[in-house]
Amino acid sequence: MLASHCLMAQIAADCTNAIPICSNTPVNSGTVGYGIDDFNGAAMSGCLEQTVTGFIESNSAWYRFRTGAAGELGFNIGFDTSEDWDFALYRASDCGSLGDPVRCNFFDNQDQEAYMGVGEDPTGSPNTFLYEDWLQVQPGEDYYLLINNFSNSNSGFSIQFSGNIFVTNPFDALDCAIVNNLLGSPIAACDNQNVILDATMPDVVSYTWYMDTGSGFQTIVGETGPTLQALVSALYRVEVITISMNNVISDVQVGFSSAPTTSPVADEIGCSDIGVFDLSLKDAEALGTQDPNEVVVTYHSTMADATAGSNPLQTQYPVNIGSETIFVRTSSVQNPDCFDASEQFNLNIVATAVLSFPDEVFICEASSGILIGETSPDAQFAYSWDTGENNPSIMVTQAGDYTLTATNSQTGQIDCISIRTVTVIVSETPEITEVLVDGLQQNNRVEVITNISGNLEFQLDGGAFQTSNIFNNVAPGAHIVTVNDLGGCGMDTENIVVVGFPKFFTPNGDGANDLWQIIGISTLSNPVVHVFDRYGKLIKQLNQSSLGWDGTFNGTALPSSDYWFKLSYTDASGQTVQAKFINNHFSLRR
């Protein structure tokens, strides 16, 4: 809740003349110069620094107030966005002992904000640097408030008090006893309210009423009674002549602010996938022809909140599926108590389908097809595929991209559309076509070659599957390799033998490479190696106890040429098998 404010002609440039304000005091003023130096030549006071004048003040206005309740207190100082204003708040009972300010703001206004103060920006801006934390007060505390115009561009300012003490104590949050006046404290009113000034006293001889609208006091002709209805913003004066000649002259400031009128606001409809609705888009409708610099628009979830001006909705309003009523409040910048909360609009959010089915699927080449799309459809949505089919899900047998569109249609209002594409990949059954062994060592590298590439995983000797087709540190001997298609299109398993052999040998009796042999067959059961010439003639048979082949046949040295071999062994089932995937070609060199 904000305390009221309106035009106030008084300006006090010095602390000693600080203008007293209370719960119903209107404050809307400006500054002209700084009077005397209230800080006695000091370079700083809290966050305030010396200005171009050489003093802390440049164009200053001083106010004082006393708290009448306990709780949270703040205030908003409104001004033109092109101007730079600063403030400092002191908890002190006189100007001679101000001490350090309890709240202070010296930031420039490069972001062109419209408010500064203590508490929260009334526009809901969360990023402003021009606000200090709420003040927690107790009854009877005295404060001095300095407002200083730093930019020397001065079109005036307004003050609106805020905080929960104005909710718990709407009439005495600030103590009006510091304003002693027959006509009472200054009055802020809306232009649709009746304001009656009452100067009733005993033993009165006569009443004379005056009004000053800016050019001096003028007698209000015909008004001689104890009360006066104030019709315009002005400084009013009454002169009371009593029988005892204890005459009284009393002034009171009355300020009227225009009460805004909220224009009709159209209902809105949107799709749930927008996430948030920007309420500020409705401001122009609510304002109509009114000046947005003079009228603030806020939105609320209940009529009670709109009437009280509390709990405004955030501008980027998160939407919920369904219809809800948003209540609109327009209030005067000059006096937030002048408001209109007569309009509302419905925000209808239509559900947009959430399509979460897989966007990539695999089918096997021998498959009869796969079902793709939405398997748990919602009856409120219409489904259509780019294939021309109108079902939530369809059966496909060929590779390609398939696009589903789900539409929630509100006839004549809106179509909420969601689109998702499924990529169908046809997988062949994998086969092991080659196994490459980097041998002749205790720990070997084995690479599995397959007929296809893609979504495959590989296994060695029943271990964990891996995405790489290369196994390192493989010991010599018999092993089992497996390839599996992750799309469910089968697997292939092969028994392999990891052995090593030289690609060539030179049986010339020099003691180097004189024998050709296979390394690692000792790990096999009953291994036998058959060596052939290029015509398929059996030249030599070796077993695990053989030292190797010396390049002779029946004691005769064979010529330099290429030779082939085959390796067989007994497997775990007792069967004699021939090792696969062994590069069985080597050279004899002389």
Map out the domains of the chain as residue ranges.
15-176, 187-257, 268-350, 360-427, 432-498, 504-588
pLDDT in tens, 40-84: 999 999 999 998 889 999 999 899 899 999 999 999 999 999 899
Least confident stretch, 227-231, 408-412, 527-531: 408-412
Residue 11's pLDDT is 64
Question: What average pLDDT is seen over the chain?
Answer: 89
3-state helix, strand, coil in the chain (%, to 5): 5, 45, 50
Q: Given this model, what pLDDT does residue 235 score?
A: 87
pLDDT of residue 23: 66
**The domain defined by 432-498 carries CATH number 3.40.30:** no
- The CA-atom distances, in angstroms, between 512 and each of 502, 508, 509, 555, 589 are 12, 8, 8, 20, 12
478 contacts 469 by C-beta, under 8 angstroms: no
The pLDDT of residue 367: 80
Pick from 428, 425, 422: nearest CA to 372:
422
Q: Give the per-residue pLDDT at 509.
A: 87
pLDDT band at 283 (very low <50, low <70, confident <90, very high): very high
Q: Does 141 score more than 90 pLDDT?
A: yes
The helix or strand, by DSSP H or E, that contains position 167, with its residue range, turns out to be helix 165-168
As a whole number of angstroms, the distance between CA 148 and CA 61 comes to 6
Is CATH 2.60.40 correct for 360-427?
A: yes
pLDDT at 540 over 90: yes
Cα 159 to chain centroid distance, Å, stands at 33
pLDDT, tens only, 430-460: 999 999 887 666 778 999 999 988 789 999 9
Residue 1 has pLDDT above 70, yes or no: no
248 confidence band (pLDDT: 50, 70, 90): confident
Phi and psi based region of residue 66 (left: phi greater than 0; alpha: psi -120 to 50; beta: remaining): beta
pLDDT tier at 25 (50, 70, 90 boundaries)?
A: low
pLDDT at 4: 33
The alpha carbons of the chain give a radius of gyration, in whole angstroms, of: 47
Using CA atoms, how far residue 332 sits from 28, 173, 341, 501, 518, in Å, is 13, 21, 12, 96, 99
175-184, 288-297, 473-482: least confident range: 175-184
Q: Which residues pair with 491 in a beta bridge?
A: 484
pLDDT at residue 245 greater than cutoff 70: no
Q: In residues, how long is the chain?
A: 590
Question: Residues 379-401: what's their mean pLDDT?
Answer: 95
- Give the 3-state secondary structure of 312-356: CCCCEEECCCEEEEEEEEEEECCCCCCEEEEEEEEEEEECCCCCC
Answer yes or no: are the C-beta atoms of 459 and 481 closer than 8 Å. yes
Q: Are strands 561-570 and 585-588 parallel, antiparallel or unpaired?
A: antiparallel
Name the nearest CA neighbour of 146 among 80, 82, 83, 102.
102
CA distance 336 to 141: 26
The predicted pLDDT at position 174 comes to 92
The predicted pLDDT at position 91 comes to: 97
Q: Does residue 152 register a pLDDT over 90? A: no
**Does residue 308 carry a pLDDT above 90?**
yes
Assess if CATH 3.60.40.10 describes domain 15-176: no
Q: Are 534 and 561 spatial neighbours (Cβ–Cβ below 8 Å)? A: yes
At 172-188, the pLDDT tens digits run 899 877 765 788 878 88
Find the range with the poorest average confidence among 144-148, 180-184, 238-242, 291-295.
180-184
**Residue 6 pLDDT exceeds 60:** no
Residue 2 clears pLDDT 60, i.e. is over it: no
- The CATH fold of domain 504-588: Immunoglobulin-like (2.60.40)
Q: Is the pLDDT of residue 583 over 70?
A: no
The share of the chain scoring above pLDDT 70, in percent, equals 95
Q: Is pLDDT of 225 > 90? A: yes
Residue 57 is which amino acid?
Answer: E
User: Is the pLDDT higher at 18 or at 201?
Assistant: 201
In what helix (H) or strand (E) does residue 284 lie, and over which residues does it extend? helix 283-287
Helices (H) and strands (E) in the chain, counts: 3, 46
Per-residue pLDDT at 475 exceeds 60: yes
271 — pLDDT class (breaks 50, 70, 90): very high
Mean pLDDT of 391-418: 93
Q: Is 498 helix (H, G, I), strand (E, B) or coil?
A: strand
Phi, psi for 317 (deg, rounded to 5): -90, 120
Q: Give the 3-state secondary structure of residue 95.
A: helix
pLDDT at residue 9, as a whole number: 38
Report the CATH fold assignment for 187-257.
Immunoglobulin-like (2.60.40)
Same fold? 432-498, 504-588: yes
More confident residue, 250 or 37: 37
What average pLDDT does the segment 193-211 reach? Answer: 93
For the residues 270-293, what does the mean pLDDT come to? 96
CA distance 424 to 411: 34
- The tally of CA atoms less than 13 A away on the side-chain side of residue 139 is 9
Separation of alpha carbons 165 and 136, rounded Å: 10
pLDDT at 3 over 60: no
